[in-house]
Amino acid sequence: MEKEKFSEILKSHLKKIGITQRELAEQLNMAKSQLSNIFVARERAGAKNAPRIAQALGIDPLWLMTQGEQGTPPTAKVVTPAITGERIIDRLDRYMDVHGLTDSEVTKECGLSIGLLNQARSGKCDIGKKAVEKILARYTDINRVWLITGEGDMLTTTDVVTLQPSGGTAVYNIDATCGEASRPIDFASERIIGYVNLPNVSKDAYIIRANGDSMQQVIKDGDWIAVREVKNYDDIYWGQIYLVITPEYRLLKYVRKNKEDDNAILLRSENPNFDDMVLAKSKIVHLYVVENILSLKIQF
């Protein structure tokens, strides 16, 4: 990728749609200095950042990465963020207002530095990538793209979805129990009942139904969840919701660090009527992270 030509195309398109480098950096959750280096051709965008920049600008990533030689050129009608210049902290504040969350609750539940949210509001610092990931790991109904870029809806919910015979994310005739169950889980192809195309839901995920009330009100009985298997337990995001499979149980719980024993984890319910559980890591047969909670009705 020729960085000088990439820079010129980027600057031209940014001017056309009327947003600044600072606003784009905030949408991308990227350091302003890094984006500035890309704009003045001191640094390459790279295979990781170029598609993110293209998505934020609403243009074809292939067109941008090939400097207009391939892909679909942008039209005059470009979709810009709903609120130009709105920061991640501003969108987080909107989410907190909807859910009645306080700074102290978010700080504690996400493990953020004390005072970070107020500092971000005052412009003294940015929330930062690590803090954003902690927030998304804890509040799984937040639309990742919306929080980072302002595009799309606040929540990852859909009202009615019709199953398709192919393509998209597979939906399985499997129940994930918000309680206890001794049934094994098997994502065999014969258990697929159809496919759906939903924004921000990976096509590599498994969509299954949640039953039970231990995770009310976060996961309601009958909600659909998109899960992805975690092979390395070092990749666990503490405080995130996981589907934990043991020889005896199938559990949907928050997974917390067990401070008393590194070889065990703490499983916590949202419903206060359920007690915490301590589970040895050696008892885990399969572990799936809950990437999306889908409060939707699927039409067969």
Please provide the average confidence, as pLDDT, over all residues in the chain. 78
Q: Are 228 and 237 in contact (CB under 8 A)?
A: no
The pTM for the full model equals 0.49
Q: Are 260 and 269 in contact (CB under 8 A)?
A: no
pLDDT at 178: 52
In this prediction, residues 257-274 reach a mean pLDDT of 89
270 with 169, same domain: the answer is: yes
Helices (H), the chain: 3-17, 21-28, 32-39, 46-57, 61-65, 88-99, 103-110, 116-122, 129-138, 144-149
237 plus 191 within the same structural domain: yes
Same domain membership, residue 216 and residue 93: no
Domain around 190: 160-299
Q: Does residue 223 lie within any of the structural domains?
A: yes
Is residue 41 predicted with pLDDT exceeding 60? no
Percent of the chain topping pLDDT 90: 20
Q: What is the tens place of the pLDDT at every residue in 183-198? A: 567 888 888 999 988 8
Instruction: Report the C-alpha gap between 31 and 24 in whole angstroms.
Output: 10
Query: For residue 78, what pLDDT band results from cuts at 50, 70 and 90?
Result: very low
pLDDT at 19: 64
User: Does 197 lie in the same domain as 142?
Assistant: no
Structural domain contains residue 75: no
The answer as to whether 109 is a domain residue is yes
Pair (289, 212) in one structural domain: yes
- Which of 152-156, 174-178, 234-238 is predicted most confidently? 234-238
- Residue 80 within any structural domain of the chain: no
pLDDT surpasses 80 at 77: no
Q: Which residues contact 95 (CB under 8 A, 6 or more apart)?
A: 101, 139, 142, 147, 154
The Cα 39–Cα 171 span in angstroms is: 43
Same domain, 174 and 295: yes
Whether the pLDDT of residue 292 is over 80: the answer is yes
Q: What is the pLDDT of residue 82?
A: 44
| Distance, CA of 93 to CA of 117 (rounded, Å) | 9
* Helix (DSSP H) and strand (DSSP E) numbers for the chain: 10, 11
Top pLDDT among 196 and 76 is at 196
Q: Answer yes or no: is 82 within a domain.
A: no
Residue 155 maps to a domain = no
- Shared domain check, 93 and 218: no
Question: Tokens 């992270």 belong to which residue?
Answer: 289
163-168: average pLDDT:
87
Name the band, by pLDDT with cuts 50, 70 and 90, for residue 2: low
Domain count, the chain: 3
In a domain, 218, yes or no: yes
Least confidently predicted of 70-74, 173-177, 196-200: 70-74
Question: Residues 275, 234, 127, CA angle at the centre, nearest 5°?
Answer: 85
CA distance 51 to 28: 11
Domain CATH number, residue 128? 1.10.260
pLDDT at 147 over 90: no
294 or 166, higher pLDDT: 166
CATH code assigned at 267: 2.10.109.10
**Cβ distance 251 to 177 under 8 Å?**
yes
Share of the chain above pLDDT 70, in %: 74
List, in order, residues 6 or more apart from 282 with CB less than 8 Å away.
Answer: 263
